[in-house]
Structure 1
Amino acid sequence: MGVRFAFAGGREGWVRALLTAVGVGLGVALLLLTTALPNALAVRHERGDARSDINYGQDMKKADNTLLSGNASTTFRDTDIRGRDLEPEGPKAPLPPGVAKFPAVGEMVVSPALKKLLESEDGRLLRERLPNRIAGTIAESGLIGSHELAFYRGAKGLAAQDINGAGISRIDKYGNPNPTESDSDPVLVLLVLVVFVVLLMPVAVFITAAARFGGERRDRRLAALRLVGADGRSTRRIAAGEALAGSVLGLVLGTGFFLIGREVAGSVEVFGQSVFPSYLNPSPLLALLVAVAVPAAAVLVTLLALRGVVIEPLGVVRTAKPARRRLWWRLLLPLAGLGMLYPMVGQGRDGGDFNQYLVSGGVILLLVGVTALLPWIVEAVVARLGAGAVSWQLAVRRLQLSSGTAARMVNGIAVAVAGAIALQMLFAGTESDYTKDTGYDISRAQMQVTVPKGKTLAATAEELAATKGVRQVYAFNEGFVNDGTGEDASWARVTVADCTSLREVAKLPSCRDGDVFVSHVAPGAGESDSDRQATDDESNVTARPGQKLYFDTSEAAEKQTSVVWTVPKAVKQAESIADPTGYRRGGILLTPGAFPAQAAAGVRGEIYVRVDDSLPDARDYVRNTAARINPYEEPMTWVSTESNDRYSSIRTGLFVGAACVLALIGASLLVSQLEQLRERRKLLSALVAFGTRRRTLSLSVLWQTAIPITLGLLLASVVGLTLGVVLLRMTDTAVRVDWPSVLSMTGVGAGVVLVVTLLSLPPLLRLMRPDGLRTE
């Protein structure tokens, strides 16, 4: 009978069932997506390993089954492009995954996303770097994401390059023989656990709230059933059947939403990450768990809700003043959560692994504590509210009559914000452990280019300096000299550059071409004693006038060779300063006129490039020039900080998940708001018929949302801060409140509610018409 009421009870019945199904379906879709994420990450990892072309130091000889693979990866704007130059050495050479045949010289096969980019107007600069003809596309099996930019390019003459030294490998098969294992850092494991719990809790809260849509009308209908002879137990079974029908329909809609979202996921990129739809296959066991848990939860929630309602033949007693909610058992939930987390306080990274069950259980109980405490807080506060404008009084009276419904609407927001605050505190507290300062001074230079063999420093620097968007280049030849040829000889670092560049690494008394300087680190310079010792060791050759020093040029010859250089009489003293890389270099500084040409093979060229940041794509102009100089050496783009890869991926996962949860929050809140307005249609029409202004009613609806959400966000802040402090103590990290994150999370929560309220105003205005009083 309950199922028949849901689907054959006229317009009221199926609208109520549809609203419930949409609310439950949105939650089910996100649950299915979450259960599919581990598989998606695993497939990405497997495909990355399957196309690995590293020979891991094996001394492999040319054969009919070998392939030369050159690393031609590059960067366009802020996106990495994976590239390889391929030269098969025999008919049995291995094909890369996803490639049907080797591209000829001058041709390349590209990923669909790269093909689209190259053919677009935005890809004009990139086409200069990749001018090869596109001969085909890489299939899905050779890519890790639908938006990945990748190419394979035909090449010849790779054997003449320095194999295993210039980004060129000889392989006889693709794949990683030693698949990488996940990092077992307990703090990172804790982060993953908490992220999953925090993202899934709001979903569970929304599903249980959606199962109670239309509760007041349902209870009045059950009273009518009592009047025609049904007993209390029968009415509860009928209500459970109706909830079951709505949740099963929600499962069907949720599966549809998931399949639609699965296809959409293949066409979007979030925070630089993309997947193919085939990656998003939920674990069958987890999908079955969702299919069983959601209807069971809907029935259970309905039965629990009816425990506090007396349904009599002539009405529902809930419309009278309800009994005050008890506080004591609501406090037990967060206290029990803290009790589960307390044994792991202070363990940190060195105290062993965190117990996954205690962590998950403790965080869940703390967040469930929000849903238990919020109805009591809303009831206690609104009971003391009173005088004010008409819109205020209408809102307060409505909240006093149904504070539980109002609390249920914002429970999900409160849980999401509480969890987000705790996670932001945890990430902010542990960030220093996984993010380090690179030391690069990006105000003096932003890119670094290595001069390849066969190119001179001066010619390379000149070509880069002439590049569009380059303001300044600082070019250095770097090497070492010894004061003898034996094992006990002392050594010193040598830097060869013009006067302009040398002034970036030392304070010079005066400088002109032909000068020689001995650079010393001033006492007290550097960040620590160990730093000073490292730089002082570079100048442990005294470099006296007339002293003979030796440049090692063995790299350019098959046997050990050296070039003798005599320190000139007019050697000058210089004081070392931090160079653009943040390093204080000691040793000997030479201008080009003082450097012996025979020693050129004993030094290596490095060029620091300062770009014009006001010019869009300035860095890509530099990359284009660098690709012409050496296609196998990607210019290094400097950053001030760098993060642990897995830490960064966890944080990215949090942002992606939070975006999905916020979308669910907004959609579910809107559905809930519309359901509430639909139930009050006759009341709103009656108020309008009696002369109440529409502006007053609109403000009353806003107050009805604003009061509980304010209380919910305050509670969420307290619980979130508490959970954040406990998690920081568990990781043995100094407790520090990240106030900007706290304020931003609460602001996002408030913003979602404001947007939902604004979207619900047009339906509200349509409901406030006198014809809403018409009934049958």
Structure 2
Amino acid sequence: MGVKFAMTGGREAWVRVTLTAFGVGLGVALLLLTTAIPSALANRNDRGRDRDDWMFSGEVMERSDRTLILGRVDTTFHDQDIRGRLLQPEGDRAPLPPGVEQFPAAGDMVVSPALGRMLKSSDGTLLRERLPYRVTGTIADVGLIDPHELSYYAGTKDLNATSESAGGVDRIDAFGSTSPPERLDPILLLLVLIVFVVLLMPVGVFIAAAVRFGGERRDRRLAALRLIGADGRMTRRIAAGEALAGALLGLLLGAGFFLMGRQLVGMVSVFGMSVYPGDLTPTPALVVLVALAVPAAAVAVTLFALRGVVIEPLGVVRAARPPRRRLWWRLLLPLAGLAMLYPMIGQGRDNGQFNEYLVVGGVVLLLVGVTALLPWLVEAVVARLNSGGVSWQLAVRRLQLSSGTAARMVNGIAVAVAGAIALQMLFAGVDDDYTKASANDLTRAQMSLDVPEKVTAAEAVQALSRTRGVTDTTTLSTASLGNGRDEPEQYASVTVGDCAALREAAKLPSCSDGDVFAVRNAPYDEYTEQLSKAGASLYIDPSSGSDEKGREIAWTVPKDIKRADAHKDPQGNERGGFLFTPGALPKGAASAASATVYLSLDASVPEAREFVRNAAAKLDPLAHPQTWSATEQSNRFTSIRTGLFVGATCVLILIGASLLVSQLEQLRERKKLLSSLVAFGTRRRTLSLSVLWQTAIPIALGLILATAVGLSLGTVLLKMTNTPVGVDWASVLSMTGIGAGVVVLVTALSLPPLIRLMRPDGLRTE
């Protein structure tokens, strides 16, 4: 009977069911999205592992008709990473990369759809200069981690795999990684767990609030049923049936929203993260759980809401003063949550994994405690609010009559803000563990290039010096030196450069071409003092294997060798060993040294880095300039933080949409009251302000409570990770400000419907 009333009860019933279904549907869609995230990330990782081409053996594979020489030519364009590979098959059975149908010919390339669009765009002019290949095909989805990935495979005939090219060029006979994926360390696992709990809790709160839309009108209708013979239990079952109808319709809408959103997700990249629509497939067990839990929760919430309502044949008893809410049992929830988290305080990273069940249970109880404490807090505060203007008194009186409804509207905001504050504290606390200050001195250089084997240092310097945006270059070459031709017992490093370059690596007394210096007091330098004795016979680039014998260059330590003190170079390294000016280097030794060019850039040239990358690519496609930054952050930590931002964005959208629906439902139920006040001469401005106060007072109390609970939870989480407790007040204020901003936006959007409702003709009835 309840289902029938919901579906055939006329316009009012349809409006009520639609509002409920829309609110539930938004929550269900986000639940399905969240449950699909693990499988989406797993699919991304699987595709990445299937195309893995790294060799970790340190040895060069023998050539066969099954082998492929592969060169890694990754680059960056406008802060976007581009994955590039050069392919040179050595036989008919060489392995094809996933997503590629046939090997591109030399000078041709196959590209990802996103890279193809970029190359065709007007912004891709500089990138086209860097990738001088003819596009002949497209990489299929199976070979890409996401639809917005920038990737290409180019054909070549110029690669040679040797032990010296390891890391840049490899010979492989298969794609894919067989090693098990690396496990998350305990703190990163804790972050993942907390992120999921914090994102899912507001969704559950909103679903619970959505099934209570239209509660007052429903109760008046149930009183009419009592008048024609229904008893109390029957009315509650009928109410449960109505809620069940709205929840079931919400499930269908939620599935539809999810399917529509899934088709659109491939077109959007949020914080550099995107997935294919097919990746967003929730596991069947989680889908069944959502399908059963949402209707069951709708029935349970409805029966729970009716426990304090007396529905009699002549009306609903609401005029009597309701009993004051009790505080003691509401405090048990957060205290129980703290008790579950307490055993893991001080555990940190070094004492094993955190207990996942205790972590999830404790955080859930703490956040549920917000929803239990907020109604009591709103009731206790508004009971003491009396004097004020007309709009204030209208708002306060309404809150005093229905503080529970007001608290339900902002419960989701409070839970989301409390969880976000705790997460921000945890992220800020452990940030130093995963973010390290770079040793690079950005005042001396902003980029560097390790000169490829096929290019001389002079050629690299000449090309880079002429590049637009480069103001200065410094070149330091490095080799090794020892007291024997093969497997020396004592060894040291050799640094080669002109006097200006050597002064970037050590403190020199005086310098002219032809000088040699022995560096004193350098860290990790054991043998320079013994090796620098005049007349000692040493060998530059002594070989460490039989296949490299004969490359060593004999050199005798001169009597006039000078001394220098260690000094950090632009990359923050203190070089020890010997410093050679070019004139002092023995004949043939220059080819044994590997050069690095440090580049100073003109900040006024916006594309300076792109010009440098293009110049390096013309020298050798394998040349990969490094862009320096002040900090370096763990990729996994960055990914988790990105996931939080993506999820928080979705939750904020849900919060705003659900709050708007709830607000409109409240206004609809008070249509006659608003019309009566306008008919008696109440100004529309006064009523609009009263609606604003009715929203502002509960949200202010909710944000205060959320801040307190969030700070408490954040403190406990930091103590669990054995991290010093500190409050990132900027994040706290930003989270509360975002929560308040959502409410202000929802209030502003509800004003046009409010103005339409404030008309005397709203008193008409049939």
Shorter-chain TM band: over 0.9
Give the match for residue 529 of structure 1: none
- Are 2:21 and 1:21 aligned? yes
- Are 2:634 and 1:644 aligned? yes
Q: How does 1:160-559 map to 2 (within 5 A)?
A: 165=166, 167-183=168-184, 185-483=185-483, 489-521=489-521, 533-534=523-524, 536-537=525-526, 539-541=528-530, 543-544=532-533, 548-552=537-541, 554=543, 558-559=548-549
Report how far residue 645 of structure 1 moved.
2.4
Q: Secondary structure at the match of 1:598?
A: coil
- Aligned counterparts of 2:504 and 2:680: Cα–Cα separation in 1: 81
User: Which digits, 9 at most, give the CA deviation of each residue in 1:397-455, with x for residues without a partner?
Assistant: 11111111110011001001111111111111122222222311223222221111232
Q: Which runs of 5+ in 2 are unaligned?
A: none
Q: Is residue 549–residue 567 contact of structure 1 (8 Å, CA) maintained in 2?
A: yes
Give the match for residue 132 of structure 2: 131
Alpha-carbon RMSD across the aligned residues, in angstroms, is 2.1
- Aligned counterparts of 1:706 and 1:471: Cα–Cα separation in 2: 57
Q: Is residue 545–residue 571 contact of structure 1 (8 Å, CA) maintained in 2?
A: yes
Q: Secondary structure at the match of 2:212?
A: coil
More moved, 478-487 vs 79-88: 478-487
- Aligned counterparts of 1:275 and 1:537: Cα–Cα separation in 2: 52
- Aligned counterparts of 2:563 and 2:160: Cα–Cα separation in 1: 46
Q: What is the TM-score of this pair, normalised by structure 2?
A: 0.96
Which amino acid is 1:118 matched to? Answer: L
Which amino acid is 1:737 matched to? Answer: V
Which amino acid is 2:621 matched to? Answer: P
Which amino acid is 1:671 matched to? Answer: V
Q: Secondary structure at the match of 1:86?
A: strand
Give the match for residue 664 of structure 1: 654
Q: Is residue 465–residue 472 contact of structure 1 (8 Å, CA) maintained in 2?
A: yes
Q: Secondary structure at the match of 2:588?
A: helix
Report how far residue 490 of structure 1 moved.
3.6
- Aligned counterparts of 1:569 and 1:137: Cα–Cα separation in 2: 64
User: Which digits, 9 at most, give the CA deviation of each residue in 1:330-352, with x for residues without a partner?
Assistant: 00101111111111222222222
Give the match for residue 681 of structure 2: 691
Give the match for residue 157 of structure 1: 158
Q: Secondary structure at the match of 2:31?
A: helix
More moved, 694-703 vs 27-36: 694-703
Report how far residue 306 of structure 1 moved.
0.3
Report how far residue 181 of structure 1 moved.
3.7
- Aligned counterparts of 1:228 and 1:393: Cα–Cα separation in 2: 39
Q: 1:20 to 1:160 in 2, by over 3 A?
A: closer
Report how far residue 280 of structure 1 moved.
0.5
Q: Is residue 520–residue 529 contact of structure 2 (8 Å, CA) maintained in 1?
A: no
Which amino acid is 1:36 matched to? Answer: A
Identity of matched residues, % = 66
Q: What is the TM-score of this pair, normalised by structure 1?
A: 0.95
Q: Is residue 506–residue 574 contact of structure 1 (8 Å, CA) maintained in 2?
A: yes
Q: Is residue 452–residue 622 contact of structure 2 (8 Å, CA) maintained in 1?
A: no
Q: Is residue 491–residue 540 contact of structure 1 (8 Å, CA) maintained in 2?
A: no
- Aligned counterparts of 1:72 and 1:587: Cα–Cα separation in 2: 33
- Aligned counterparts of 1:160 and 1:284: Cα–Cα separation in 2: 47
Q: Secondary structure at the match of 2:467?
A: coil
Which amino acid is 1:73 matched to? Answer: D
Report how far residue 143 of structure 1 moved.
0.9
Report how far residue 637 of structure 1 moved.
2.0
Give the match for residue 89 of structure 1: 90
Which amino acid is 1:358 matched to? Answer: L
User: Which digits, 9 at most, give the CA deviation of each residue in 1:503-538, with x for residues without a partner?
Assistant: 3223334444333333334xxxxxxxxxx632x437
Q: Is residue 470–residue 611 contact of structure 1 (8 Å, CA) maintained in 2?
A: yes
Q: Secondary structure at the match of 1:495?
A: strand
- Aligned counterparts of 1:770 and 1:469: Cα–Cα separation in 2: 71
Q: Which runs of 5+ in 1 are unaligned?
A: 522-531
- Aligned counterparts of 1:602 and 1:87: Cα–Cα separation in 2: 27
Which amino acid is 1:5 matched to? Answer: F
More moved, 172-181 vs 603-612: 172-181
User: Which digits, 9 at most, give the CA deviation of each residue in 1:277-326, with x for residues without a partner?
Assistant: 00001100100000000010011000000001111122211243211111
- Aligned counterparts of 2:165 and 2:577: Cα–Cα separation in 1: 31
Report how far residue 599 of structure 1 moved.
0.9
Q: Is residue 69–residue 168 contact of structure 1 (8 Å, CA) maintained in 2?
A: yes
Which amino acid is 1:543 matched to? Answer: S
Q: Is residue 435–residue 644 contact of structure 1 (8 Å, CA) maintained in 2?
A: yes
User: Which digits, 9 at most, give the CA deviation of each residue in 1:697-745, with x for residues without a partner?
Assistant: 2211111111111111111111111111111111222222222221111
Give the match for residue 738 of structure 1: 728
Report how far residue 481 of structure 1 moved.
2.6
Report how far residue 647 of structure 1 moved.
2.0
Which amino acid is 2:249 matched to? Answer: L
Q: How does 1:565-576 map to 2 (within 5 A)?
A: 565-568=555-558, 570-576=560-566
Give the match for residue 67 of structure 1: 68
- Aligned counterparts of 1:488 and 1:61: Cα–Cα separation in 2: 29
Report how far residue 555 of structure 1 moved.
8.8
More moved, 115-124 vs 466-475: 466-475
